[in-house]
Amino acid sequence: MNTKTIGILFIVLLVLVGIFLIRVYVGGPKTSSESLNALNIDFDQSKVAAIQVFKQDYPDSGLYFVKQDTIWQVANEFNTPAKVSDIKQLIADLDSVSGTIRGESADLYPDFDITDELAIQIRLTAEDGSLLAHVYVGKGGDGKSCFMRLPGSPVVYLANNNFISRFGVWQASPEKRMPTNRWMELGISPFKREEIGAMTVKTPKTEYQFELVEVASEDTTAAPDKAWKQLKPTKGYILDETKIRGLAGTLTGLRGTAVANPENRDKFGFPDPANIITMTNGKATVIKFSDKVNEAEDRYVMVEGRETIYIVNKGTYERTFVTPFEKPKENK
């Protein structure tokens, strides 16, 4: 091979190397930038009327949300009202999620825990049942991300949002049911403490009545102050204003730990249980507690006018009906 030929080959090599470097340093960043938005789930958020979250081999372990007018419900938890803000955030995050490509072959699915059978599938549908969006979610990435793919495509992305933690299935066994409590609105009282003006606590032995009344202010030019007063009973142990205010905080802060089937309402000891709360804010709200329902001494709770039946634990019951009315022990 003569010197001229070697020189031509060397020039060709330089050209090829130059083309490669151009693709890497000019084309490379462009491809990387585009890959950040390669995962694109485009849908109209306002049209979402139902959300299914499930694993193909374990559909009963999932979640099913349905929108009724403006209210979201957890359909597979007796249509219990859902936390609307959390549902809206889920929809918004799915609409805006992006990610980098991490695999382009179905053979790699097991590495990402994103096979058809075991991936968490999220399906968004419109009121007419038409599909708006569908994604597969594999295992989490660095704690703030997870692997995702779209139906009909072998490409796996590392998404910039962690939907594994969102549904409480981090390192959970495939058949484990997704937690529902984090999605349900389990607040029992419709009021804040400063919103009520009267309350009644009926125990098996006594009915206690309290009212927020006006009291004279030390400043005679100022408007009267308000303080809680026990109206009934008038004899025996009378709660002072501080304890009544604390009780008001307990009652308005009542929350359930879970829900029960409302079809069994009559079997739960309603409508005439021994423990009843009434709170008044222009109109009265009545909350009824059942007797003990298991060895842990949980109780069912219903609010008149609502379908939901809540479950509360022993501690909640005692803070409501027992502890506030126990006389302080005398120091010996």
Total length of the chain: 332
**Biggest CA pair distance of the chain:** 120
Question: What pLDDT shows up at residue 3?
Answer: 61
DSSP 78: T
End-to-end CA, the chain: 113
E-assigned strand segments in the chain: 50-55, 58-68, 71-74, 80-81, 99-103, 120-125, 131-140, 146-149, 156-159, 198-202, 207-215, 225-232, 258-260, 275-281, 283-292, 299-303, 309-312
Question: What pLDDT shows up at residue 327?
Answer: 85
**What are the two backbone dihedrals, phi and then psi, of residue 101, each rounded to the nearest 5 degrees?**
-75, 130
pLDDT tens column, 246-269: 999 999 999 999 999 999 988 888
Distance of alpha carbon 279 from alpha carbon 273, whole angstroms? 17
% of the chain beyond a pLDDT of 90: 66
Stretch among 59-73, 114-128, 182-196, 259-273 having the lowest mean pLDDT: 259-273
Residue ranges per domain, the chain?
A: 45-183, 193-325
